[in-house]
Chains A and B, each alone.
Chain A
């Protein structure tokens, strides 16, 4: 499709290309994610996500799923099985629950994706028992999903802002919470990688003329 045509629906291919863009961004930013994680975590966030999204790209490339929902479900399953630590189950749950929410529709809209990712975010919150303000990925995900109801760009900006807003917070969940007040002053690695997801989504939508 030409970039001057704008469409408001997309199919499975769009989400496959989004996740491939996530894999590229994670690969490029892996050192930064690991650096953030070495300050307040166990210094494996970059390497873990790099491995996970590389595996996602490989699986989706081998056998492209038939629907947007199936793409996210397959990606989530792959993340849970290849990424150790907490980020595998959390990101895996995000995508898998979103995929299940989309069901088998062949074409979906941005609004539907926002709704599905919203269900995914709620599942992540339930799984980890975290809320906004706990200095976790939710600090980027919750505003991003809200922004996605307006536009891909709004989602990107809100996620980025949410990630930056974790700097002054004290961690109340995850490995960083063991550090108490010493977690203050560092940007949360999970919120940072969550922001990458929405940056890649905005890039992919922009490149393909999806609004």
Chain B
């Protein structure tokens, strides 16, 4: 794994959703080396919710020094990541909340990060997924 890839954290209220979306993104991102991507879903005891502890652990684990893109599903996942970014030093330097749809954004982010895109490029690719209309 190159030392300069952007890391990705997928934050969902559900551990299963976060893990499955991570697996889906890996499966769709093509062959070759992939950027580090980890799920941070649910609460530490396995319930539905968000856990700053799990989010911070995952962010540290995917940090390669090129920044960390955090994708979130809804509600308090957004608040938790924003609170961590605004007030604290728990998240690695260069962590960013990415405004993107969760599933499509995760795939786009992983593809772009794996191709060596920087944090701006990863965030832009994930956000662009909002423009993909299904009808």
A interface residues (Cβ-Cβ under 8 A, vs B)? 76-77, 80-81, 84-86, 88-90, 92-93, 96-97, 100, 123, 127-128, 174-175
Contact = CB atoms under 8 A, between A and B. Distances in A.
24 contacts: A80-B52, A80-B83, A80-B84, A80-B87, A80-B88, A84-B43, A84-B47, A84-B50, A84-B51, A86-B75, A86-B76, A86-B79, A88-B83, A89-B83, A90-B83, A92-B83, A92-B87, A93-B86, A96-B87, A97-B87, A127-B79, A127-B86, A174-B75, A175-B75
B82 A81 contact: no
A46 B83 CA distance: 21
Main SS at interface, chain A: helix
B88 A89 contact: no
Interface residues of B, number: 17
Interface in B57-110: 75-76, 79-80, 82-84, 86-88
Interface of B: 43, 47, 49-53, 75-76, 79-80, 82-84, 86-88
B76 A85 contact: yes
- Shortest 10 CB-CB contacts between residues of A and residues of B: A89-B83, A84-B49, A89-B79, A86-B76, A96-B87, A81-B52, A89-B80, A85-B76, A93-B83, A86-B79
A88 B53 CA distance: 12
Contacts of B76: 84-86, 88-89
A90 B52 CA distance: 13
A85 B83 CA distance: 12
A128 B79 contact: yes
B82 A127 contact: yes
Nearest to A48: B49
Contacts of B88: 77, 80, 96
Given A88-B76, A92-B87, 4 more contacts: A84-B47, A89-B79, A89-B80, A128-B79
Nearest to A178: B75
B82 A88 contact: no
A96 B43 CA distance: 22
A176 to B, nearest CB: 12
A4 to B, nearest CB: 40
A80 B86 contact: no
Contacts of B83: 80, 88-90, 92-93, 127
